Structure 1
Amino acid sequence: MTTGARGRNFPIARRRMHQPARNSSEEDTMTTNYDPALAPTFERIDTYEEWQKNEGAVIHGGLYIRDLYSLELDYWPRKGCNGAVVYLDGDEETDEHVVEVGPAGKTNPERHMFNEVIYVLSGRGATSVWYDESRKQTFEWTEGAYFSIPMNAWYQHFNGSGTEPTRMVSVTNLPGMIRKFITEDFIWNNPYVFPDRLTAEEGWASGSGQMYKGRVWETNFLPDAANMPMPDWSERGAGGTNIMLSLSDNTVSSHISEFPVGTYKKAHRHGPGAHLLITGGVGFALVWQKEDMSDLVKADWQRGSLYLPTQDAYSEYFHQHFNVGTTPARYINMSPSNSRKYTYQRGINDPSRRGEIRAMVSIKEGGIQLEYEDEDPRVHEIFEAELAKYGQECRMKNLVSTCTGVPGPENKKGALQDYD
């Protein structure tokens, strides 16, 4: 009998192991003698839901998390520290894990066959990572660090403070993986090593990397994702900056974006997968699906907010980001799938199908972006009303004709073509 990581079995595994014996005559007549009134109901099992029930961790749901810093946690046996699992309404193949390591504490060593991208919310410490225990690599981090553990490598987090806890949030593709492979042992007790993901050479987390066209930074470790300088990406609106990330040779897609005080970005539309973690600033998001915006939802955010730009796991939604605070607003799009490096669907090298290109091109020209001149006038009215509450001035005069504020960034539009 196959057991899980802690001796558990999923019901589907037992059913597959226990096939009823039939002779040839029964096989010949089982369909002709079928009586729906007497036949048992075929059981459908969600292996991720079963894992949640048995994991012993606090589970949070809802549309979004307003404040990860104050999120309720409790002891999580697998981690060996306080933590919680977050599974939002827009999640399907992804979830979020929050862990808090106490002063001078550490997590249990762990490895797993799913992608995980990790952001340090608070504190300082170190992480050891290894395939071979005699060749551990240990790197230090502080608040704002961002990294992805190599697939199925062992790792362990340590709190470097003797007086303060450290808190991390990660986004994973555990739900999709456990629903595909069913057996917990495959996920957590798999001996397979990916030798190209973590070599024996020191310096895996040095922070070095390679910059490519399209603002793509390939690296293993970002020591300060909350403050690092980034190239211009005004095509997405408001004179913003951005960097696209390829992390640890995993199938992880992330990017970081920032936009100025008194501005907002252009709306765009896509399906589930993106997880937006606010690392700085105060503002809100608007999310809607219907053309008349009758289903409009406003989500206020701040440093430590986490939200998905979709309200379910099946549909495409428009969403838009607004800065009403006194500092630039920055967020990380944390996504443990849809790799920027490895294609995940046919024809993805065609610029007209690449998300990062379509994101800055008007819907009228084959993209997924709503230009300022095409947005509903209510959007700007909502923004100026929110700015007034915070005593801030609108700086969209160069971008929106109805703006009552002052000139700000100039408008710039993208094209449905590859980078030069």
Structure 2
Amino acid sequence: MAKDAIVNESLAAKFATEKDSPYTRWVADEGLDIIAAHYVPDLKTVELKDWARRGGRGVFINHEASRTSNDCYVAEIPTGGQLAPQRQLFEEMILVLSGHGSTKVWNDSGAEVTFEWGPGALFAIPLNANHQHFNGSGTEVARFVSSTNAPGIINLYDDIDFVFGTAHDFPKRFNGEPDYFAPKGEQKGLLLDTNFVADSINLPLIEAKERGAGGGHIRFNMAKGSMNSHISQFPTATYKKGHRHGPGAHVIILSGEGYSLMWPEGEEPRRYEWQAGSMIVPPNMWYHQHFNTGTEPARYLAFKHEVVSIRNAQGVPKAWISQRIGGDQIDYADESSYVRETFKEALAKHGLEPKMEAAYEQEKENLPPRSAA
């Protein structure tokens, strides 16, 4: 039986106006649409509208659960052009999808930094810093995808002029350091403390066997912000462990091909095929699981709001912890037979076979016992 909690129209009508918010009204005033989707086949080709205020084209992508935490939008910079300068009292992380260009960042004290970017570059805009994006090509448009925590800020103040027009520097976030966007950073465990990654597709990762299938992982803290992101990679003919977490994760495929399963507890999994440029947006507390059916490692970037990470008392995300001890990750030993059968069938279509035996065996070394019924 479905557990989607859909009620009758009479009850729904009593709450209809609460779906509207200062944030959704702002997006409408910008002349843009919000794609309320859990899945976008290709961010590089998703349809955009003219964005008059910014001088480019764009579309927002977020479902209802993430409209109060963080959002996602795709923007395009015209050939040989630029977007309008902007500052904002919310945080923003950007992944370049295509094209080459530069971004200028400056504060009210007169400090200015300009850096160049190309496909796969990842960076963050410091809080309330003035900035402007430029397309360096005279023959092709540049396109990027961004995640921000604008919904909560715009809903809190309900004053667009204040959010986008307040003259105030945050020197602890950005003070005009010349090397602020240099491709460097300090590694702290899984966390890379940096403001710019030149090539997210080939960035070296750290082993993270806890997530299964011999994968690699790295987490980012950019521009000293409260938002976070991470990159994960896993080998061909393998898959990650199923898990769930809060809303606001926008998972962008950087390389490889495969599919993801997503499902709310008690329902059958739904399947979404992906390739480089696809995006998966798991709804709040839906289980999801990623499968590599291609001939090369699969890598993805997840833009997230901190509400995604439901943590235990030690600060470990429960999505990394076995359900057997109260976490939100499904061990291989406990997954449905449907998972392995479907994966084997998908690989066979490509002339491949699963390479999961080593992962299954490795899990047994630290597998918690099942709790008594």
What is the CA-CA distance between 1:148 and the residue it aligns to? 0.8
Q: Deviations over 1:76-95 (max 9, x none)?
A: 01221111122235423222
Determine whether 1:316 maps to 2:285.
Answer: yes
Q: CA deviation at 1:60?
A: 2.2
- Name which of structure 1's ranges 223-232 and 124-133 shifts more when overlaid on structure 2: 124-133
| Preserved contact between residue 108 and residue 169 of structure 2 (Cα < 8 Å) | no
Q: Which amino acid is the alignment partner of residue 379 of structure 1?
A: V
Q: C-alpha separation between the residues in 1 aligned to 2:67 and 2:23? A: 10
2:316 is aligned with 1:350: no
Residue of structure 2 equivalent to 1:264: 239
Q: Is the 8 A contact 1:64 1:88 kept in 2?
A: no
- Between structure 1 and structure 2, the one with the greater Rg is 1
Aligned counterpart, 1:40: none
Amino acid at match of 2:116: E
Q: Does 1:384 align with 2:353?
A: no
Measured at CA, do residues 133 and 81 of structure 1 come closer, stay the same or move farther in structure 2, by a change above 3 Å?
Answer: farther
1:332 aligns with 2:295: no
CA contact (8 A) 1:239 1:411 kept: no
Give the structure 2 partner of residue 75 of structure 1: 50
Q: Paired residue for 1:238? A: 213
CA deviation profile, 1:227-268 (whole Å, cap 9, x unmatched):
101110011100000001111101111111000000001111
The one of 247, 272, 292 aligned to 1:299:
272
RMSD: 2.3
Deviation of the 1:400 alpha carbon = 4.6
Q: Pairwise mapping of residues 12-23 of structure 1 onto structure 2 (< 5 A)? A: none
Q: Does 1:150 align with 2:126?
A: yes
Residue 131 of structure 1, aligned match among 107, 113, 127? 107
Query: Which structure 2 segments of 5+ residues have no match?
Result: 1-16, 369-373
- CA 1:285–1:89: 2 relative to 1, 3 Å: farther
1:277 and 2:252 correspond? yes
- Tell me if structure 2 keeps the 8 A contact 1:107–1:156: yes
**What SS does structure 2 have at the residue aligned with 1:271?**
coil
Unaligned runs of 5+ in 1: 1-42, 402-409
- Aligned counterparts of 2:304 and 2:366: Cα–Cα separation in 1: 23
Separation in 1 of the partners of 2:89 and 2:177? Answer: 23
> CA–CA distance in 1 between the matches of 2:25 and 2:290?
36
Q: 1:140 & 1:48 partners in 2: Cα distance?
A: 31
How far has the Cα of 1:147 moved from its partner?
Answer: 0.8
- Do the aligned partners of 2:58 and 2:76 also contact (CA within 8 Å) in 1? yes
TM-score (norm 2): 0.88
- In the alignment, structure 1 residue 190 sits paired with structure 2 residue 150: no
Q: CA 1:413/1:60 → structure 2, altered by over 3 Å: closer, same or farther?
A: farther
Which residue identity is paired with 1:354? V
Change (3 A) 1:90 1:361: same
Q: Cα distance, 1:411 vs. partner?
A: 3.7
CA deviations on 1:151-181 (whole Å, 9 max, x unpaired) are: 1101111111111111100011212211111
**Residues 64-113 of structure 1 deviation map (CA, whole Å, 9 limit, x = unaligned):** 21110111112101221111122235423222111111221111001111
Deviation sequence 1:319-376 (CA, Å, 0-9, x none): 1110001111101110144599xxxx9xx6831x431xx3332111232211101111
**Which one-letter code corresponds to 1:364 in the other structure?**
R
CA distance in 2, matches of 1:240, 1:164: 35
Residue matched to 1:122: 98
Q: Is the 8 A contact 1:82 1:100 kept in 2?
A: yes
**CA distance 1:281–1:173, change in 2 (3 Å):** same
**Among residues 66, 81, 96, which one is paired with 2:72 in the alignment?**
96
- Matching of residues 20-35 of structure 1 within 5 Å: none
**Partner-residue secondary structure (3-state), 2:220:** strand
Partners in 2 of 1:157 and 1:337 — Cα distance?
27
Distance 1:109 1:258 in 2: 35
Residue 303 to residue 413, structure 1, CA distance change in 2 (3 Å): farther
Letter in 2 for 1:148: A
2:332 to 362, 372, 377: 372
Q: What SS class does the counterpart of residue 267 from structure 1 fall into?
A: coil
TM-score (norm 1): 0.79
1:394-413 mapped onto 2 (5 Å cutoff): 394-400=354-360, 410-411=362-363
**Aligned equivalents of 1:205 and 1:219: distance in 2?**
8
- For residues 185 and 368 of structure 1, do their structure 2 counterparts lie closer, same or farther at Cα, with a shift above 3 Å needed? same
Structure 2 partner of 1:141: 117
Q: Equivalent residue for 1:203?
A: 179
CA change 1:88–1:349 in 2 (3 A) is closer
SS state at 1:332 partner: strand
Structure 1 partner of 2:138: 162
Please give the alpha-carbon distance, in whole angstroms, between the structure 1 residues aligned to 2:250 and 2:135. 26
1:374-399, Cα deviation, whole Å (9 max, x unpaired) = 11111110111111122222111234
The answer as to whether partners of 1:255 and 1:332 remain within 8 angstroms in 2 is yes
1:407 is aligned to none
Q: Distance in 2 between matches of 1:223 and 1:391?
A: 35
Q: Hey, what's the Cα distance between the residues in 2 that align with 1:165 and 1:55?
A: 21
**What is the deviation of 1:309?**
1.8
Q: Which residue of 1 aligns with 2:8?
A: none
Identify the residue that residue 323 of structure 2 maps to in structure 1.
Answer: 363
Which amino acid is 1:233 matched to?
Answer: A
